[in-house]
A = this chain, B = another copy of it.
Amino acid sequence: MVLYIIGLGLGDELDISVKGKKIIDKSDVVYLEAYTSILFVSKNKLEEYYKKTIHEVDRDFAEENCDIILEQALKNKVCFLVVGDPLCATTHHDIILRAKQKKITVKIIHNASIMTAIAESGMQLYNFGQTVSIPYFENNYKPTSFYDKIKTNLNNNFHTLCLLDIKIKERTIENIMKNKKIYKPPSFMTINEAIEQLIYCEEIHKQNVITEKTLGIAIVRIGTDDQQIISGNLFKLKSLQYNQPLHSLIICANTLHDIEKEYYDMYLCDS
């Protein structure tokens, strides 16, 4: 049979495509991937609208029990729902390879992604360099490779999309060691936290990447009714209060094109 990997888009239960919805209607089993991103509605709301029981899949399940999903897909129409466009995160490439090894047909239903929705900021997608992820710093784990990548992008006069860490259903090292399935509360990095970490990197590496002149655009809950797009220098953006996560951050190229400049000015924080 078929494994359908269906993108849900950015906001709520209505952001699925008509095609994706029709496939769910005719499917036998529906899984929801709930550990690389989140929608802004509850699973119940999705179940109500899609009229299907939805099984939430967390990281443990996907890694340990991927075979269960694939066994079902051998005999049934199985939907695997993913927020955004399903393959933007690197996570789901593995299940497709494993499905193809078992000769299961895989169909991807694409949808909107943060990676192109950010064009709403006015920054041209053609002018972006490599996308970076900013992970939460921990006491003894403070990787700063994103700082070097931003520097490279700035040197080439590219914008950088910074995707901010989210932690869903993570366990403490203690609970992993004890094999206890007790999870920490979910956390979503804010723009303020991300800029704090960027400033930390600047203090360590001193490459003049993050200065008073570094321009950014705060991207908050894009694709929802309470989205925010706010431009300003990074220190200004760090001082603002935003709507609830999800947050992302664009670090702008040093030189903006005319139309980018117009957008930047339009979104300038006014206080």
Contact = CB atoms under 8 A, between A and B. Distances in A.
Nearest to A5: B120
A224 B263 CA distance: 34
B17 A110 contact: no
Interface stretch (A40-48, A93-101, A189-197): A93-101
Contacts of A251: none
Contact of A94 (B90, B97, B110, B259): B259
A129 B126 contact: no
Contact of A19 (B15, B93, B119, B222): B15
A112 interface: yes
B18 A15 contact: yes
B116 A110 contact: yes
A232 interface: no
The interface size bin for chain A is 35 or more
Interface string A1-39: 000000101111111111101100000000000000000
Contacts of A127: 130
B19 A14 contact: yes
Question: Which of A13, A129, A152 has the most CB atoms of chain B within a 10 A radius of its CB?
Answer: A129
A113 interface: yes
Question: Which of A9, A16, A110, A122 has the most CB atoms of chain B within a 10 A radius of its CB?
Answer: A110
A10 to B, nearest CB: 6
B108 A111 contact: no
Contacts of A10: 110
A227 B120 CA distance: 28
Contact of A115 (B115, B120, B156): B115
Question: Which of A97, A115, A223, A262 has the most CB atoms of chain B within a 10 A radius of its CB?
Answer: A115
Contacts of A223: 110
A66 interface: no
